[in-house]
Chain A
Amino acid sequence: MMELLPQALTDGILLGGIYITIAIAFSLTYGVMHVIDFAVGEWIMFGAFTGYYLNKWTGLDPFIFLPVIFVIYFGVGYLVQPVIHRVLSGTKGNPFLMGLVFTFGLAIMFRGLALTAFGFYSNSIPSAFSEGSFNLDSIGLTVTIPTVRLMGLAYAVAITLILHYLLKKTNFGLGVRALAQHKDAAGLMGVNAKRTGSYVYGIYVGISAMTGVLLGCILSIGAQMGNEYTIFAFFVVVLAGMGYLAGVPWAALLLGLVQSIFMIYFNPSHTLLAVFVILYIILLISPRGLFGKGV
């Protein structure tokens, strides 16, 4: 069994890389809106299905569609966010609770829509990269790296770098960070919370949808896949410490490792349980995340 370990670790790191993209965008949205989006998994699922159908209709490789999918879902997110913003800035009832309930309702609605439209079948998106793989036998390791997973990691690195640039080097990023620190003060300094929120939410939905396509190429797609990824996104964000972006990559890699180790050594259907046990222990011992820097 030990000879499988390098393979498990490699798979885990490659998969974890992809989770980084979802988790950073998810964490960013939380930072700006201060509300958790329960529909994260559903955005991933919608993106995956869009990729699946675009591929079916045009016959082109799903990797070519990624920018198209980003643009579509950026638009969707940009249009949805004002509604969430309205709920959050309401005066009746408890806006924070209402925001949570609202995204929860969205998630249920989206799941129903997807089940109605796509049924219960699961599929995978064919890609030119699905076939090939690299063998590392030459350096003495029995590790196979499927090309598609390597492409996934390249995508994740690219997205992470772009987001990093956007956040740290642009005025827009400055506004986002200011909003995350103090909403009212940022508003006084001339940051338009409403518009920035819409952009951030759009970016987050776009990235989630793109990542959905990749997950569809690497693993599988199904109308019920959303639940699992919502839990994964939450896992990463809690492990990293809510709102602490620098911890996200490590937590995402850990999630990828847990998942691949369970796939190889244990029953894959116990992955969710393992994820939950780890989450529970982390919350018990260090509720502010692995690094103790969350809010």
Chain B
Amino acid sequence: MKTSRGAAILAIITAALLILPLVVHDTFVLRVLTEGIMWIGLAIAFDVIAGYTGYLNFGHGAFFGIGAYTIGILMMQAHLPFWVALPLGGVAAALTALIAGIPTLRLKGAYFAIATWALSRAIQQLALNVEFTGGPDGMRLEAFLNPLFFYYLMLITVGAIFLVLWYLLERAPFGLKLKAIREDEEGAKALGLNPTMLKMQSFILSAIPTGILGGIYAYWITFIDPSSTLGDLVSDQAVVMVVFGGMGTLFGPALGAILIFAFKTIFWAYLSDFQLLYLIILGALIAISVIFIPNGLWGTLVKRKAVARPQEKPEPASEPAALSAVAVPEEGN
């Protein structure tokens, strides 16, 4: 019953978002919505590796930037059409994940966290220093000024990302395997799972959507430079959204993305001089969330509800379930 009600709410939201542009013609509103939807996609993609697998990727923005630059370079220098370039943006992000993951995913979480962060800094340096990216001047793409097209493209892409991730992480055994690694890597290994392989798959699964969203962003905004697409703000925001919203779920990051993005939009609209203040707020928000709501907003809300209605048996905690349930599909192989 709970699932069907959730599905109904989601269907209503989706329908509302689909009809919305027919009612609202203001381009500013459309732009804000498009970007908001994009951030939902980025946040849930980040959560695949961070929340479900328990490996923090502090350089998530690198995939976004790589996607953006891949599309920019392929469209402007190889003159490929957008629809050919876009999937290649995802491929480029996946390759980067593979290259970065091979040495780091064998190791403990701390290595991965700081190595991905260092990688994103290194990639930004690379984009600043090589010729074909335009260096610090950035890159201008062919303008295709159709806000409606990008609104729907973003909506459909993020919707598809959400459905694919929801199926893989919440319905297929894959999600349980990842959770098993998060809870107890040695235990998962003892059950016959290959943690390194699974971590790699989840890292790539997190990178592909991010690269594709970066590509759409590049074509939409038509101008990319190392500080806007490869800067640390993209990664920092993704971390805040997921930690504040709630790790290890799909709805938590989405909620976090909506709230943080709404806050940012209002904040920047009224206080455009204080962009640096935003950095302080982001950092403080991470610290406060960690101390007071370690399960994130979504986790805290869901738990409250479960406590308030004791007659309804709360869903079994994912920790032990993850380990025991994983064993079943493995035996079939």
A residues within 8 Å of B by Cβ? Answer: 30, 35-36, 38, 83, 86-87, 90, 92-94, 96-98, 100-102, 104-113, 115-116, 227, 230-231, 234-235, 238, 242, 267, 269-270, 272-273, 276, 279-280, 283-284, 287, 295
Smallest CB-CB separation from A277: which chain B residue? B122
Contacts of A102 in B (CB 8 A): 286-287, 290-291
Smallest CB-CB separation from A107: which chain B residue? B283
Interface residues of A, dominant DSSP: helix
Docked-complex contact A242 and B119, CB < 8 angstroms? no
Contacts of B121 in A (CB 8 A): 227, 231, 272, 276
Partner of A105, one of B128, B232, B283: B283
A10 to chain B, nearest CB (A): 26
A116 to chain B, nearest CB (A): 4
Known A107-B283, A116-B277, A269-B125; 20 more pairs at CB < 8 Å: A38-B58, A38-B114, A38-B117, A93-B295, A98-B290, A101-B243, A102-B290, A104-B239, A105-B239, A105-B287, A112-B278, A230-B114, A242-B111, A269-B129, A273-B122, A273-B126, A279-B118, A280-B103, A283-B111, A284-B102
Contacts of A230 in B (CB 8 A): 114
Contacts of B239 in A (CB 8 A): 101, 104-105
Docked-complex contact A283 and B107, CB < 8 angstroms? yes
Partner of A93, one of B110, B113, B117, B294: B294
Say whether B182 faces chain A, with CB atoms less than 8 Å apart: yes
B residues within 8 Å of A by Cβ? Answer: 50, 54, 56, 58, 102-104, 106-111, 113-115, 117-119, 121-122, 125-126, 128-129, 182, 232, 236, 239-240, 243, 247, 276-287, 290-291, 294-295, 299
Docked-complex contact A273 and B125, CB < 8 angstroms? yes
Partner of B106, one of A87, A98, A227, A287: A287
5 A-B residue contacts at CB 8 Å?
A96-B109, A101-B56, A109-B283, A283-B111, A287-B111
Contacts of B284 in A (CB 8 A): 105, 109
Smallest CB-CB separation from B279: which chain A residue? A112
Docked-complex contact A83 and B291, CB < 8 angstroms? yes
How long is the Cα–Cα vector from A272 to B121 in the complex, in angstroms?
A: 8
Contacts of A94 in B (CB 8 A): 54, 182
A23 to chain B, nearest CB (A): 14
How long is the Cα–Cα vector from A284 to B104 in the complex, in angstroms?
A: 8
